[in-house]
Homo-oligomer: A and B are copies of this chain.
Amino acid sequence: MSLELLRKLANSMMPLPDHEWEALAACWHPVQFKRKEVITVAGEVEKYLYFVNAGVQRLFCLEGDKEATLLFTYTGSFSGIMDSFQLQQPTSAYLEALTASDMLRMSYADFDRLTLQYPTIERWVRLGTVAALSGLLERHKELLSFTAEQKFRKLLTRSPHVLQLIPHKYLASYLGIDPATFSKLLSTVKL
């Protein structure tokens, strides 16, 4: 069971005393998902916090017959439906594996115990959550004020690698534009 990536991340953010790290590490359990497999279904309460050892995942909602993609998670990042997990309330989102995924996960009971027992961990979770909020606010601002082309360009400059990593129809959904429009924008930029 590989905790290397997670340990590296933890150390870079907040070095923990050895015994706290032990307690934390003991709560993670490996789990695998196949490509296209749905990890969490709308209506459920998110049972786990995930850490991605390998693969790409997508968080999305169904609105009528359309999907709205909220975010992607990647190798080396946390995953799961964070608000549903922390508040233990039903979610209206789906989490699915876009590629075969190798993940670690922690149950809510363990998470709750750790945060109550170790103030450092509680604090670290808070700051991680704020960072997520900050990123979402930034994207929100773009949705409110950018044209399709501006959103497209921003994606290209901020995360060019996702073009090879994620099917374009999902990137289009993430930007709130039509897949055909995405394709047309792409062709204008490639010249």
CB contacts (< 8 Å) of A140 on chain B: these are: 68, 70, 136, 139-140, 143
Kindly report how many copies of this chain are found in the complex they form together: 2
Convert A119-144 into 0s and 1s, putting 1 for each residue whose CB lies closer than 8 angstroms to a CB of B: 10011011101111110111111111
Assess A83 versus B127: contact at CB under 8 Å? Given A119-B119, A145-B64, A145-B68. no
Q: Is the CB of A63 within 8 A of B145?
A: yes
Question: Is A115 at the interface (CB under 8 A from chain B)?
Answer: yes
Give the contact-size bracket for chain A. 35 or more
CB contacts (< 8 Å) of A116 on chain B: these are: 119, 123
Minimum CB–CB distance from A154 to chain B (whole Å) comes to 11
Q: What are 22 contact pairs spanning A and B, CB under 8 A?
A: A63-B145, A64-B145, A68-B140, A68-B144, A69-B144, A70-B137, A70-B140, A70-B141, A70-B144, A83-B130, A83-B133, A83-B134, A87-B131, A92-B138, A93-B137, A115-B123, A115-B126, A116-B123, A122-B122, A126-B129, A133-B136, A143-B143
Known A-B contacts: A83-B133, A125-B126, A140-B140. Give 16 more (CB < 8 A).
A61-B141, A61-B145, A64-B145, A68-B141, A86-B126, A89-B134, A92-B141, A93-B137, A115-B123, A115-B126, A122-B122, A126-B126, A129-B133, A136-B137, A143-B144, A145-B176
Interface residues of A (CB under 8 A from B): 61, 63-64, 66, 68-70, 82-83, 86-87, 89, 92-93, 115-116, 119, 122-123, 125-127, 129-134, 136-146, 173, 176
